[in-house]
Amino acid sequence: MATLGELKARIIRETNRDELADTPGADATAASSADLEGAIRRAIEFYAAKRFWFNETSGTTVTTIGSSTAPAPAGLRVDDYLDLAVGGQQRRIARRDLHHVNALLGYGVTRGEPYDYARDGSLLRLYPIPRQVYTLTVFGLYDLTALDSDAASNAWTTEAEDLIAARTRFLLLRDTFRDPEGAGMARSAEDEALAALRGESAQRAGTGRVRAAC
């Protein structure tokens, strides 16, 4: 259950590279510290769109009368399905490809309760065009809370600590320190940590709490 600062300390210890520590006023050391932080960000980004129990959740957004688009909820990575609130009940909206929804919208202006949607970058494109304000609940994979300080933590530094530590070591040893043997060992540790997380996600999926890992 590590914070970002504790994760950094672990990576320094496990790579045996003191130059990754941050020493104010030492330009070379500061650059190495930036390498460490950058590698952690790259490691998290690499797995951010992968399905684990801790990044699968939902978010909400609202429609605008007469507009075929609504903003996707903040942090949405992968949309699985969408529910529309009507009369106090949730109704599932069919997920279509963007070409299909754009073709429907091209046939003319039709307003009503949307029953089709497609992801269009940071927008959700709806058909028919909403005739009133609706609340949309989008289920899928989301970014976690930001790691904006060494005291911060989220599931990447807690539940997935072993995975992110190993992936970060692999990136540093391969790209920064040019250590093929060390990178290979880190990659093996990454594979082990990934298998463990996927196994736990699969077990949780068996209870119906999340979908299977991918």
Q: Which pLDDT does position 212 carry in this prediction?
A: 39
Q: Which pLDDT does position 18 carry in this prediction?
A: 65
Q: Which pLDDT does position 156 carry in this prediction?
A: 98
CA distances from 61 to 9, 169, 170 (A): 39, 38, 38
**Would you list the domain boundaries of the chain?**
4-48+146-206, 57-142
Q: Which pLDDT does position 214 carry in this prediction?
A: 36
CA distances from 191 to 24, 50, 143, 197, 206 (A): 35, 14, 22, 10, 22
Q: Contact, 60 vs 136, CB < 8 A?
A: yes
Q: Which pLDDT does position 213 carry in this prediction?
A: 37
Helix axes 161-171, 27-47, angle to 10 degrees: 130
Q: Which pLDDT does position 92 carry in this prediction?
A: 97
* Strand runs labelled E in 132-190: 135-142
Q: Which pLDDT does position 32 carry in this prediction?
A: 84
Mean pLDDT by 10 residues, the chain (214 residues): 93 83 52 87 97 96 97 96 94 96 90 97 97 97 96 98 97 92 96 97 68 40
Tokens standing for residue 62: 């609202």
The residues, any chain, with a CB within 8 Å of residue 35's CB and separated by 6 or more, are 20, 172, 176
Q: Which pLDDT does position 22 carry in this prediction?
A: 60
Q: Which pLDDT does position 208 carry in this prediction?
A: 45
Q: Contact, 93 vs 115, CB < 8 A?
A: yes
Rounded Cα gap, residues 208 and 205, in angstroms: 5
